[in-house]
């Protein structure tokens, strides 16, 4: 056997094994340091934060709009109850107006009689003229009361219309809020839902990477084992160069070489066996790793394309975010509309209060007119009593007195009713305005919160689109490193095959040496040969693996000291 070629091949296999292990030793720590998926975590965090913002705004706005009509409708019902009081006032005003018209007719009739009476009726004519003017003033004031009351009712109807608009706006806003929130959560869920599955799939590689990293720990043992084989083969002696006459030396060399080969073979078989076992498991694991990488990459590409590719259509992130932005813009628009309607509502309440006071002012003008009528009526009665020329109007004067009395009684009754209406409606409207003001301030705050969320939503649209576009499961170069592992694994498999081939060569060499030794021993008439060269002792002392020392001791019959020397390895 060409021992030199065997040594060259053995050393080449050792270098290849060493280089493969060194490269794997560099790659595996790099793979393990990127175990945390930054890109996935970043995208998940963006989704989580935006989801929280959406929930916060959705909750605040939903709470605001829900039951908002319950704030105004009870107040409006109470106000309508107060308006019912105006119906009684309206009847009283009509009584006053009817009495005033009758008094005006009576005063005209009295005036005609006084004119017919000539000079004797002149004084009565002057009194009757005053009665006519006062009656006309009563008619005018009562008509004005009716007019002011009608204006008040119109303003109240306007108030009802504004509240109806508010209710409609509230319902629309609540619906828009619910739809917008649901759409937003649906989009975020659709973006975030696949991530855990992708991450779970990707995380499977770490189990295999951690497990196969243990293989790298064998590099020192394999290197030392290979060095021990080299050490043995370098001690191989060429028996063919020994003179045939030196039979003892020849038998000694043959026996030494044979035992040396047996030791080397035992170590080579260990190297080959262990390397094959670990590379077989390593290769099976790494096939799974590469399959996982391929599967994850397909899912990653499918995930990205489902949102940002040209074929994404209505499922595309841009389309869906634009729809959501439109929804939330609608919600903000309803807030603006609501706030403006609130202002109109406050103005309407203040106008109603003003109209109520106007009724009070008109009513206040009535009582002095009635008092004046009573005073003039007294003068009229005196004039009738002393002037026979106008005695024919006595009955009319009595009727006039009755109408004046009835008007006064009606006005006094109206006074308490009107005063109660003014006080109660004023208090109610003040509460109404306060509630409107507080609601408006709250709506303004929510509108600002919504505007802030709307701004964040527009920013998030681009941030999430960018994160999706740049989404990675593993960092740049990870797949290439995993592919490089396969390359170096192939080198280890090739080296393992080389060690197996060398072991077969040694087996053949051992058979050849055994036949030669047997012939040499038989030529000498001996049954066996005990090795006289003690060189094995120094060779075995250089072994660094305890198990290999035991192999050598068993093969050579040399006693190996028990215990472990400094730097020795006890396992393989």
**Helical packing angle, 3-33 and 478-523, nearest 10°:** 150
Q: Is the pLDDT of residue 337 over 80?
A: yes
Give the residue among 356, 572, 340 at the shortest CA–CA distance from 443: 340
**Helical packing angle, 317-386 and 69-116, nearest 10°:** 30
What tokens appear for 502 in the block? Answer: 């060398």
Query: Mean of the pLDDT values across residues 369-379?
Result: 82
Question: Which residue has tokens 């939503």?
Answer: 457
Q: What is the average pLDDT value for the chain, to the nearest integer?
A: 82
Predicted local distance difference test score (pLDDT) of residue 461: 83
Q: What b/e string do you get for 45-78 counting C-beta neighbours within 10 Å, with b at 16 or more? A: ebbeebbebbeebbebbeebbeebbebbeebbee
What tokens appear for 496 in the block? Answer: 């393992």
Predicted local distance difference test score (pLDDT) of residue 37: 53
Question: Which residue has tokens 């009802």?
Answer: 160
List C-alpha distances in Å: 70 to 42, 64, 335, 417.
44, 12, 18, 29
Q: Is the pLDDT of residue 36 over 60?
A: no
Query: Mean of the pLDDT values across residues 314-328?
Result: 83
Q: Is the pLDDT of residue 262 over 60?
A: yes
Residues ≥6 apart with Cβ < 8 Å to 426: 353, 356
Q: Is the pLDDT of residue 567 over 80?
A: no
Segment 95-145, tens digit of pLDDT: 888 888 888 888 888 778 777 777 777 777 787 788 788 888 888 888 888
The CA distance from 255 to 260, in Å, is 8
243 DSSP 8-state letter: -
Segment 272-318, tens digit of pLDDT: 988 898 888 889 999 999 999 999 999 989 888 888 877 777 778 88
The greatest distance separating any two alpha carbons of the chain, rounded to the nearest whole angstrom, comes to 197
Length of the chain: 572
Give the residue among 469, 91, 195 at the shortest CA–CA distance from 312: 469
Residue spans per domain, the chain: 3-41+196-312+474-556
- Cβ proximity of 283 and 489 under 8 Å: yes
- Mean pLDDT lowest among 208-217, 340-349, 478-487, 524-533: 524-533
The CA distance from 386 to 391, in Å, is 9
Under DSSP, is residue 569 helix (H, G, I), strand (E, B) or coil?
strand
Q: Is the pLDDT of residue 431 over 70?
A: yes
Segment 435-488, tens digit of pLDDT: 888 888 888 888 888 888 888 888 888 888 888 888 888 888 888 999 999 999
């Amino acid at each position: 056997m060409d021992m030199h070629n065997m040594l060259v091949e053995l050393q080449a296999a050792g270098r290849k094994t060493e280089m493969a292990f060194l490269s794997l030793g560099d790659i595996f720590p790099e793979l393990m340091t990127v175990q945390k998926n930054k890109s996935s975590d970043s995208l998940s965090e963006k989704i989580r934060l935006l989801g929280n913002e959406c929930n916060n705004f959705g909750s605040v706005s939903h709470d605001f709009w829900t039951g908002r009509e319950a704030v105004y409708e009870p107040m409006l019902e109470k106000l309508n109850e107060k308006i019912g009081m105006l119906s009684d006032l309206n009847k009283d005003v009509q009584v006053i107006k009817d009495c005033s018209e009758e008094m005006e007719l009576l005063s005209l009739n009295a005036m005609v009689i006084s004119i017919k009476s000539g000079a004797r009726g002149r004084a009565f004519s002057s009194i009757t003229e005053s009665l006519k003017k006062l009656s006309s003033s009563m008619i005018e004031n009562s008509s004005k009361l009716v007019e002011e009351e009608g204006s008040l009712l119109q303003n109240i109807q306007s108030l009802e219309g504004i509240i109806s608009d508010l209710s409609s706006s509230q319902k629309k806003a609540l619906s828009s809020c619910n739809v917008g929130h649901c759409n937003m959560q649906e989009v975020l869920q659709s973006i975030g839902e696949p991530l855990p599955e992708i991450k779970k799939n990707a995380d499977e590689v770490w189990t295999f990477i951690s497990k196969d990293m243990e293989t790298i720990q064998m590099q020192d043992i394999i290197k030392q084992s290979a060095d021990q084989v080299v050490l043995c083969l370098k001690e191989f002696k060429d028996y063919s160069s020994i003179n045939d006459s030196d039979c003892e030396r020849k038998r000694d060399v043959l026996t030494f070489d044979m035992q040396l080969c047996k030791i080397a073979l035992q170590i080579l078989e260990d190297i080959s066996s262990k390397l094959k076992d670990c590379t077989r498991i390593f290769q099976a694991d790494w096939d799974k790793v590469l399959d996982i990488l391929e599967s994850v990459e397909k899912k990653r590409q499918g995930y990205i394309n489902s949102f940002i590719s040209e074929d994404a259509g209505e499922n595309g992130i841009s389309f869906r975010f634009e729809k959501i932005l439109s929804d939330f813009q609608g919600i903000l628009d309803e807030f603006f509309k609501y706030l403006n309607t609130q202002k109109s509502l406050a103005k309407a309440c203040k106008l109603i209060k003003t109209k109520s006071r106007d009724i009070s002012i008109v009513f206040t003008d009535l009582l002095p007119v009635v008092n004046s009528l009573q005073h003039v009526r007294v003068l009229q009665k005196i004039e009738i009593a002393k002037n026979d020329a106008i005695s024919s109007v006595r009955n009319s004067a009595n009727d006039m007195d009755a109408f004046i009395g009835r008007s006064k009684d009606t006005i006094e009754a109206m006074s308490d009713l009107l005063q109660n209406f003014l006080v109660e409606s004023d208090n109610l409207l003040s509460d109404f305005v306060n509630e409107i003001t507080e609601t408006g301030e709250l709506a303004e705050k929510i509108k600002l919160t919504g505007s802030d969320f709307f701004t964040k939503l527009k920013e998030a649209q681009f941030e999430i689109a960018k994160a999706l576009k740049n989404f990675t499961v593993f960092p740049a170069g990870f797949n290439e490193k995993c592919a490089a592992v396969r390359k170096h694994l192939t080198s280890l498999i090739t080296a393992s095959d080389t060690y197996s081939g060398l072991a077969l060569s040694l087996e053949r060499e051992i058979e050849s040496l055994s036949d030669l030794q047997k012939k040499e021993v038989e030529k000498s008439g001996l049954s066996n040969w005990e090795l006289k060269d003690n060189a094995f002792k120094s060779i075995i002392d250089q072994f660094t693996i305890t198990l290999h020392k035991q192999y050598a001791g068993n093969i050579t019959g040399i006693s190996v000291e028990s215990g472990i020397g400094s730097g020795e390895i006890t396992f393989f």
